[in-house]
Each structure stands twice: as structure tokens, then as C-alpha cells.
């Protein structure tokens, strides 16, 4: 990968046409337009601090292990161990959230195309599993194909935002007012505390602004990674911040019927906006743009997650590590890591068959898994003080204040998204993300005692002879 390809994978994983579109209905309920718009601005601003702090550490340690390798080098084996498990939970949760969102939009499109098709939880799950299979297959062909698809994805996303926003601005005869778009507050969560609802509503933006560690995970396959991967993280966040704001404006101004959009029979709120504003033909055309973008996004996320599985297995951290760390001698791809990633993502989405809030829970798994993993290397870099040796891309004297802002923000959102999202709380509305987090941490603690403290070993930075010899033995 070149610098643009590395930027492209993080931009594709952030994917405003995935996160914004699939959680737009959630945003209509938890705070409405005002929280979506101002929440996007505020969260994007704070995520820039996290991205900059992470980019600085990435420049010093550009490896496929990424976050957990940084934590190990800066804080020791136990820090690396738990960071790796959190990162893995977040990446696998992201695959589930992205591809299930793509399945929802595909179901809406098929319903518009054929009246005989109805998007039930069962049919959506079938579509979801098919999408996972496609992404698994594409990732078996090697990083060069992944890089090409991600480069196309960048232009597809930017062009898609322009087309969708332009059409929604030019075609509908009626638009909402600016006061509605930037000032309308809606609370249909069941909670009476408005501040609580505003905070929960930040999930739309915070979920979308995740996955930019993909640039770090692909750094071993990127030229001039010490600068390319670090710059890619910051640029991916910045461009996504702008593109997402434009997209949310276009969607919200074009709402024709708020209640109808919330309760859309398509199951996807933006699809109802397209349908009301443009008719069936226009709605299908714009939905295709969104679906293709989401497929690009999911494919990039599978690439990032599989590299994390590979690197973690390479260092002896996962059960069955000898199996998952093997790579293809023909393509150099960790094929079994790819298959494991899509298999676990398939299991994570199973609750969606039974709960209407399961998709939000899956996205919360992504946020509370991967976001703390971003902050741990930044915190350890701060704790190391002058002992930290920065890479060629660094923040200079701004590194410390930027790092502390990032750590505080991550702590806040991690606690926030463990909270229940709807009231009254029942088995169907329960937020399962904290349960998943506790299960993974418990599994990590148990496996550390059983095998991790003996088998887990981080190789020397920069690709030592010992590491290369070990990798050669694993190629099949």
C-alpha cells in the first residue's frame, strides 16, 4: 500500500455513508435533528484529539498489532494483553455493525424493487450472512485487491455524499427550516431527563468516528508507514467530519414526514426520506449508492480485523493461535484470520433476530471495545513522559495536552455507552454491550492465567530476525 491506500482504508472504515445512514433512525429518536447535527460537530472535534494522539504513537510503533503492540512497548505485557482483547472486541463488533447495516439497507432496496419481499429479521440475517461471505472471499485475494477497492471507496464516498445531498436539495419541493434542522429536539426514548437523552444521542457520531486504527493495522503492508499511517489517521477523521456534516444536513433538510420516517416500513429511516422526497425510482438509485459504500466499508473492516487477529495470534495471545496466525504463501494474506473474523461477526449479530434494539447494542460493543483501546497507548505515552521516543510524525510540545484531552474524552464515552438507551428496560431493550465487554475481559483474564502469561510474547520492534524466522515457519 502507498500513503493514499493507507488513508483510504481508514476513511472507508469510518464511512459516513454507513454509520450516519444506519444509525440515522436511532438519532431521530434520541434527541432528533439538534442532537444529530451539534453532536456530530462536537464529537468530531473531540475525536480529532484522539486521532492525533493515536497517530503520534503509531508513528513510533507502526506494526500490524497496532494498539496492543504500542501498549506492550510503553506499559508492559499485561497492558498489551488487555488492550489487544479490547481492540479485538471493537473490530469484530464493527464488522457486525457495518455489515448488518448494509443488510438493512439491502432489505429496504429489495422491498422497493419487489413487493413480494418483506424485510423481516430472518431475511435480514440471511442477507447479512451473504454479505459476510462476500467480504471474507474478497479478503482472501490479498492486500493489493483490498487497497484497490479502498481507493475506489474514497471517491465513491465523497461522490456519493455530493450526489445524495445535491439531489435531496434540488428535487424536493419542500424542505425543513434551518431552525428545525439545528434546533429541533425529540425524545422518544422513554427517559424523562433531556440531558441523558442528549448524551445517549452522541452514539450516532461516536460510532461513525471509529475504526481509524485500520491505518495502523495495515502499516506493515504500507510504504513509509511511520509517516503514511500517522497522517492517514488524522486525514481520514478530518475528511469524514466534513463529509458527514454535509450528509446529515442533506438528509435532515429533506425530511417530509418526521413520524413516518421514524416508523418507516422499509426499516431504514433514510430510505423513507428518499422515498418521500424522490419517489420509488429516486429512492432506489440513492439506496444503491449507500449500499455500495457500506459494502466497501465492511470489506475494509474485515481487512483491519483480520490483521489484528493475525498479529495477536502471531504473538500467542488467542486460543488456537497456531491455527489463526498462518498466512497464504501465494497471497501473503492471513486467510484463517479472515475466516475467524467473519465467523465471530456472524455470531455477534444473532441477537438481532430477537431484539429491535440489538443493532444499537452491536454498535455499542464496537464503541466501548475499540475506543478504550485507542486511549490506552495515549495514556501510557503520557505516563512514560520523556522516555517516549516519538516517530517522525509527532505533535511536539502539544503532544501532552492533546493526549490528556483524548484520554478524558475516551473515558467519558466509554462510561456513557454502557448505559441503557431506552426505557422501560426489558430483555428486548437491554443494552448488551456492557455484558459483552465484561465477558471479553473475563475471557482475557482467564486465558492469561491458563496460557497467556506463558505463550504471549511480543517480538522485537521493526521485524527482528527471530520474528521473521517465526513468520516464515507459519507460511503454508
| Span 50-75, pLDDT tens digits | 999 999 999 999 887 788 889 999 99
> What's the first-to-final CA gap in the chain, in angstroms?
23
Each residue's pLDDT tens digit, 175-217: 999 999 999 999 988 888 999 999 999 988 988 898 898 888 8
**pLDDT over threshold 80, residue 228:** yes
Each residue's pLDDT tens digit, 287-332: 999 999 999 999 988 988 888 898 888 888 888 888 888 887 777 7
Alpha-carbon distance of 200 to 257, in angstroms, equals 24
Task: Give yes or no for a contact between 42 and 245, defined as CB atoms under 8 angstroms apart.
Answer: no
Mean pLDDT, rounded, for 261-279: 89
What is the pTM assigned to this prediction?
A: 0.86
| Beta bridge pairs of residue 475 | 327
Alpha-carbon distance of 416 to 433, in angstroms, equals 11
Q: Count of CB atoms within 10 A of residue 328's CB? A: 16
Each residue's pLDDT tens digit, 340-393: 999 999 988 887 787 666 666 666 677 777 888 899 999 999 999 888 899 999
Nearest CA to 97 out of 261, 215, 208, 202 is that of 208
The confidence score (pLDDT) of residue 474 equals 43
Alpha-carbon distance of 382 to 74, in angstroms, equals 10
Q: What is the CATH number of the domain that holds 218?
A: 1.20.1740.10
Average predicted confidence (pLDDT) for the chain: 86
- Separation of CA 393 from chain center: 24
Most confident by average pLDDT, 106-115, 139-148, 153-162: 153-162
**pLDDT over threshold 50, residue 464:** no
The confidence score (pLDDT) of residue 460 equals 52
> Domain total for the chain?
1
Quote the domain boundaries for residue 315. Answer: 3-474
Q: Is the dihedral of CA 456, 462, 464, 468 positive or negative?
A: positive
Q: How many residues does the chain have?
A: 476
Residue 475 confidence class, pLDDT cut points 50, 70, 90: very low
- Separation of CA 79 from chain center: 22
Residue 473 confidence class, pLDDT cut points 50, 70, 90: very low
The confidence score (pLDDT) of residue 221 equals 79
Amino acid at each position: 500500500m502507498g500513503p493514499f491506500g493507507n488513508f483510504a482504508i481508514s476513511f472507508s472504515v469510518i464511512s459516513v455513508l454507513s454509520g450516519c445512514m444506519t444509525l440515522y433512525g436511532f438519532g431521530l429518536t434520541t434527541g432528533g435533528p439538534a442532537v444529530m447535527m451539534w453532536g456530530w460537530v462536537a464529537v468530531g472535534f473531540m475525536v480529532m484529539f484522539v486521532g492525533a494522539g493515536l497517530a503520534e504513537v503509531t508513528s513510533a510503533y507502526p506494526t500490524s498489532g497496532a494498539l496492543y503492540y504500542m501498549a506492550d512497548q510503553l506499559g508492559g505485557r499485561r497492558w498489551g494483553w488487555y488492550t489487544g482483547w479490547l481492540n479485538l472486541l471493537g473490530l469484530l463488533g464493527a464488522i457486525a455493525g457495518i455489515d448488518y447495516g448494509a443488510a438493512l439497507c439491502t432489505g429496504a432496496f429489495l422491498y422497493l424493487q419487489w413487493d413480494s419481499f418483506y424485510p423481516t429479521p430472518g431475511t435480514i440475517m440471511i442477507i447479512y450472512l451473504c454479505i459476510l461471505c462476500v467480504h471474507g472471499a474478497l479478503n482472501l485475494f490479498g492486500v493489493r485487491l483490498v487497497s484497490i477497492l479502498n481507493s475506489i471507496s474514497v471517491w465513491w464516498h465523497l461522490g456519493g455524499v455530493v450526489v445524495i445531498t445535491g439531489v435531496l436539495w434540488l428535487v424536493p419541493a419542500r424542505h425543513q427550516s434551518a431552525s428545525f434542522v439545528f434546533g429541533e429536539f425529540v425524545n422518544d426514548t422513554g427517559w424523562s431527563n433531556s440531558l441523558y437523552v442528549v448524551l445517549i444521542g452522541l452514539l450516532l457520531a461516536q460510532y461513525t468516528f471509529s475504526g481509524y486504527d485500520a491505518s495502523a493495522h495495515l502499516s506493515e503492508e504500507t510504504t513509509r508507514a511511520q509517516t503514511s499511517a500517522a497522517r492517514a489517521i488524522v486525514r481520514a477523521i478530518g475528511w469524514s467530519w466534513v463529509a458527514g456534516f454535509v450528509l446529515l444536513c442533506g438528509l435532515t433538510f429533506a425530511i417530509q414526514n418526521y413520524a413516518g420516517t421514524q416508523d418507516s416500513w422499509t426499516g431504514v429511516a433514510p430510505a423513507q426520506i428518499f422515498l418521500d422526497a424522490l419517489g420509488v425510482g429516486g429512492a432506489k438509485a440513492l439506496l444503491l449508492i449507500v449500499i455500495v459504500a457500506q459494502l466497501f466499508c465492511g470489506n475494509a473492516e474485515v481487512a483491519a480485523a483480520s490483521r489484528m487477529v493475525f498479529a495477536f495470534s502471531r504473538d500467542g495471545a488467542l486460543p488456537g493461535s497456531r491455527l489463526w496466525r498462518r498466512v497464504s504463501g501465494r497471497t501473503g494474506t492471513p486467510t484463517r484470520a479472515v475466516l475467524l473474523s467473519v465467523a465471530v461477526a456472524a455470531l455477534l449479530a444473532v441477537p438481532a433476530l430477537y431484539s429491535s434494539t440489538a443493532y444499537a447494542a452491536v454498535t455499542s460493543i464496537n464503541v466501548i471495545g475499540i475506543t478504550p483501546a485507542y486511549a490506552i497507548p495515549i495514556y501510557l505515552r503520557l505516563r512514560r513522559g520523556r522516555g517516549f521516543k516519538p516517530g517522525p510524525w509527532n505533535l511536539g510540545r502539544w503532544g501532552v495536552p492533546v493526549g490528556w484531552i483524548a484520554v478524558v474524552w475516551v473515558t467519558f464515552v466509554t462510561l456513557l455507552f454502557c448505559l441503557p438507551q431506552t426505557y422501560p428496560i426489558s430483555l428486548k431493550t437491554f443494552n448488551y454491550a456492557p455484558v459483552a465487554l465484561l465477558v471479553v475481559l473475563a475471557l482475557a483474564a482467564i486465558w492469561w492465567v491458563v496460557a497467556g502469561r506463558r505463550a504471549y510474547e511480543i517480538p522485537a520492534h521493526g521485524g527482528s530476525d527471530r520474528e521473521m524466522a517465526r513468520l516464515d515457519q507459519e507460511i503454508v
